Structure formats: structure tokens, C-alpha cells
Amino acid sequence: MYERDYIMRLITQAGAMLKSMVHALREHRPDDALETARDAVAALVETDPELADAMTGAGLATFLAAGGVTDVLRSRMLGEVLAVRADAYAASGRMGAASRERARARAVLEAARPYADGEEAERIDSLLEQLG
């Protein structure tokens, strides 16, 4: 019960950060979006931001599958954060970083997709389509 409540608070917090990132991008403030993204990634993966930033997409997916069970909701949220982060990198002219973030987002989402159903599966499919 307590773990579920904690995860829901974490998801709510990450959702607010994601909303803030999108808002910053719309206002042409990619650096603000990148700063918020760093915190959101660290919160979703529950680790140090430097470690989270150093991980590959596969590494992030493994982190979210602790105990052999993929956390689909957190994986989807992380995929969304990474996709918006990629847009922020692109908006600031850092195309290499944007490409790397898109690849990390794709890897996280593809790892979660087999375990998703219903709305989560649809959202993951939509995100994967947007990522190309």
C-alpha cells in the first residue's frame, strides 16, 4: 500500500515536471526545460542525476524493471520526459544530444511495450510513432 502511494506521488510529481518542460519549450526556454528534465529523469529512475544521464536507454529500462517486473507507467513517463528533453536539446541547437535522447526514449518505451495494455499501450505506441 505504502509503496503504491509512493509510486503514485512520484508519477504525479514527474507529470508536473513534464508539464513544466512543455510549457518552457513553448515559451522558447529550452535551458529551463533541460534543467527540469534532469530532475524528472532522476526522480523517475530514483538515482543520482549524473548516473541517470550516463545510462543508455537499455540501462534505464533495466533500472525500471527491478526484480524482473517492468514498471510500465514509470517507463512511459520516462520515455515522455526523454522525448521532450530531446526536443529541448534540438531547440537549443544540440542535435547530437537530441538524437541520443530520442534513442534513449525509444529504448525505454520499446522495453515497456510488451508489458503494456489498454491506454498505456496506446500511449506508448503513439510516443514510439512520434519518435520515428
Neighbouring residues of 83: CB distance < 8 A, sequence distance ≥ 6: 101, 102, 105, 127, 130, 131
Cell numbers linked to 49: 542525476
- pLDDT value at position 34? 94
- pLDDT tens-place string over residues 92-107: 999 999 999 999 999 9
Highest mean pLDDT pick, 37-51, 53-67, 75-89: 75-89
Model pTM score: 0.89
Least confident of 35-39, 81-85, 105-109: 35-39
Range of the structural domain that residue 86 is part of: 2-131
pLDDT at 60 over 90: yes
Residues 78-83, mean pLDDT to the nearest whole number: 96
Q: How many domains does the chain have?
A: 1
Q: How far apart are CA 126 and CA 60, in angstroms?
A: 20
pLDDT given at position 87: 96
